[in-house]
């Protein structure tokens, strides 16, 4: 499904590049790039404790700022429950991640966006058992292919407290960010989400506070 609004209308980093919020994303980008000088972050996973639209918006805005820094960025919608990135960028979701997992010989269903340097692999058709698909050997092989396509690959995944999808993928990426929505995310749920990520030994880089008043 396509949307009538453009990414410029939805994403603060495109709509208001001089705003405090856009600058905060650029600061986040810098912190990520310098978070591990010995082992650069090439794959990054974003998740949340509970369902929130801010999770996918954060992933999209961060991807835009990465691309604006002249990096080749691939944004991957691994939220096979409620995918949103194809809507944000106004592209087709007929083919995507699930298509590429199931047909390893076909070209990757990566689509360009209007942002120079930023490509998107949407979710594709939703499977009956997303966690099984994301934890499969086919997905592991696809991850290796995706690493070769960009300087940094950003994965948008379902909330930790609702599903195991993010936990399954968190052990296969270089770093994880936990998105917390100001005024909505419960502290106890965020704490539990962090503990779950730490239990599987995910490399939790930090927490992103979204929708905060400036």
* Percent of the residues in the chain that have a pLDDT greater than 90, as a whole number: 75
Tokens linked to 99: 């298509």
How far is Cα 34 from Cα 44, in angstroms, rounded to an integer?
13
Q: What is the pLDDT of residue 4?
A: 36
The pLDDT-based confidence of 3 (bands split at 50, 70, 90) is very low
What are the extents of the domains in the chain? 7-210
Q: What is the pLDDT of residue 2?
A: 33
The pLDDT-based confidence of 146 (bands split at 50, 70, 90) is very high
Domain 7-210 has CATH 3.40.50.300: yes
């Amino acid at each position: 499904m396509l949307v009538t609004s453009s990414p410029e209308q939805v994403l603060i980093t495109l709509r208001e590049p001089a705003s405090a919020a856009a600058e905060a994303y650029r600061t986040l980008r810098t912190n990520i790039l310098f978070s591990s000088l010995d082992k650069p972050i090439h794959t990054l996973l974003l998740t949340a404790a509970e369902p929130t639209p801010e999770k996918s918006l954060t992933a999209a805005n961060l991807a835009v700022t990465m691309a604006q820094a002249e990096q080749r960025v691939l944004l991957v919608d691994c939220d096979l429950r409620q995918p949103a990135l194809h809507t944000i960028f106004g592209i087709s979701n007929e083919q995507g991640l699930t298509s590429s997992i199931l047909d390893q010989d076909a070209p990757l269903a990566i689509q360009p966006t209007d942002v120079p340097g930023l490509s998107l692999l949407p979710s594709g058709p939703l499977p009956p058992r997303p966690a099984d698909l994301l934890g499969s050997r086919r997905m592991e092989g696809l991850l290796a292919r995706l690493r070769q396509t960009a300087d940094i690959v950003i994965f948008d995944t379902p909330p930790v407290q609702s599903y195991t999808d993010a936990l399954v993928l968190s052990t296969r990426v270089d770093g994880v960010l936990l998105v917390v929505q100001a005024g909505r995310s419960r502290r106890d749920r965020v704490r539990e989400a962090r503990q779950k990520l730490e239990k599987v030994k995910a490399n939790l880089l930090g927490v992103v506070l979204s929708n905060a008043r400036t």
